[in-house]
Amino acid sequence: MPKHAIEANFDGLVGPTHNYAGLSWGNVASKANVNAVANPREAALQGLAKMKHLADRGYVQGVLPPHERPHIPTLKALGYRGSDEQILAAVARDNPVLLSAVASASSMWTANAATVSASADTRDHRVHFTPANLNAKFHRSIEHVVTGRVLRSIFSDEAYFAHHPALPPVSQFGDEGAANHTRLCASHGEPGVELFVYGAVAFDDDAPGPKTFPARQTLEASQAIARLHGLDDRHAVFAQQNPAAIDAGVFHNDVIAVGNGNVLFYHEQAFLNEDRVLADISGRLKGAELEPVRVRESQVPLADAVASYLFNSQLLNTPDGMLLAVPAECRETPSVSHYLDELLASGGPITAVEVFDVKQSMRNGGGPACLRLRVVLRDDELKAMNHGVVLTDELYGHLTAWVQGHYRDRLSQEDLADPMLVQETRHALDELTGILGLGMIYDFQH
Ligand code: SUG
């Protein structure tokens, strides 16, 4: 008899240094908005509004804290010396791009925080977590240490939860976490199939790969995660992303596909070998038939999928069908808006669409699904986790007041050199660890 389980979503709270630095080559929005002036306060409130709306609809909604930025310890590790003020002034003068990198609020995109495997799939029947090394981009490669601390602090009971360190920090093991991982199942509590999507095969020079933009996830990384999590062949499928899609700006699989339950919603250009992927999943899925919802290029051109982030939506169970939580850009893109109307009229498994405004994050290439990490939890596992991070009306009230009190409403690239920003951020984050009951997770607290 399978145990009852739910999917909890842990959204990254946008940090006080949210800015547009154009750091992600291959991510169209990041490059398009370089040097735009950001509004960190609005960004954090948009994210909180999404969380609150989903919590109000009855979903278990968690919050993951932002990381300490600018990260002075990284600059010290790179040889900068002196007071915080002296270090900031020196790096702003020598290498402003490096300053932007250590100031990025990119930990908000928690789909990249880690890969999480449900206990129904793993050999030891614990929930397994591996923070992503994110080593394709320097500004993201510094996230996994604090991510690991946060996850251990929330899921601390070793009887239920297993934590692994990030994979070796080299491109051959490039790992971008749950953005390239989707779980298909009959119901959350039953054993499922974990679909790992990779962009390239690192140890085979002749394997197909993208020509223009980097593949950020390798097969070798995906296989290592599956081994670490104790997923045997019945529970893991590896599929290569279509290299042409990466070259069109699909830098993670969650920009072109999303799965939930027995439904895989994807664009026809998502996979290199679509038939094989569907057959591999179908052959392993127990207790339900795979229901592909395939979007054709003639319905939504790939460029519109990338611009609107149609597939970077959250696909969620409701009592009568599935809800697709889409970014507002989907209703602003004619082909996508038309497609959504057709989808709702089609009588298929997706029966509702809701629109979320996360524009501040979207301008850096992060839609609703980028902002959340999914964790499937049985009732006893849910009980065992630290509940300080679960969004309630009270916590929402605390967090909105905290954002209003600490965040700026304007941040340019020049502002990143302001020593006051370091002080403001530390002060805010120190208070936040108290609000969330997380203990001392930040370097400046040690
Ligand atoms: O890693 N953007 C992020 C967006 C991550 C989206 N995540 C998922 N698809 N799951 C990235 O490319 C841009 C930062 C800047 O340019 O300032 C950035 O890091």
For residue 376, the surrounding DSSP H or E stretch is strand 372-378
What is the percentage of the chain residues whose pLDDT exceeds 70? 100
Which has the closest alpha carbon to 175: 239, 138, 232, 220? 220
Q: Is the pLDDT of residue 2 over 80?
A: no
Asked if 239 and 274 count as a contact pair (C-beta separation under 8 A), the reply is no
The confidence score (pLDDT) of residue 287 equals 97
Name residues whose C-beta falls within 8 Å of residue 109's C-beta, 6 or more positions apart in sequence.
12, 179, 361, 366, 370, 371
Name residues whose C-beta falls within 8 Å of residue 49's C-beta, 6 or more positions apart in sequence.
356, 357
Q: Which residue puts its alpha carbon closest to atom 12 of ligand 1?
A: 24
Average pLDDT of span 61-74:
98
Residue 53, classified by CB atoms within 10 Å of its CB into exposed (0-12), middle (13-18) or buried (19+), is middle
The tens digit of pLDDT for each residue in 321-371 reads 999 999 999 999 999 999 999 999 999 999 999 999 999 999 999 999 999
The tens digit of pLDDT for each residue in 375-418 reads 999 999 999 999 999 999 999 999 999 999 999 999 999 999 99
Burial 19-42 (b: 16+ CB within 10 A, else e): bbbbbbebbbbbeebeeeebbbbb
Atom of ligand 1 nearest to the CA of 33: 16
* Band (1; pLDDT cuts 50, 70, 90): low
What is the percentage of the chain residues whose pLDDT exceeds 90? 99
**144 an active-site residue?**
no
Region of 79 (left: φ > 0; alpha: ψ -120 to 50; beta: rest) is left
The confidence score (pLDDT) of residue 3 equals 84
Catalytic residue chosen out of the listed positions 68, 176, 194, 329? 176
Find the 106 Cα to ligand 1 centroid distance in Å.
Answer: 6
Alpha-carbon distance of 170 to 155, in angstroms, equals: 27
Considering the entire predicted model, what is its pTM? 0.98
Atom of ligand 1 nearest to the CA of 312: 9
The tens digit of pLDDT for each residue in 7-26 reads 999 999 999 999 999 999 99
Find the 59 Cα to ligand 1 centroid distance in Å.
Answer: 25
Q: Is the pLDDT of residue 312 over 70?
A: yes
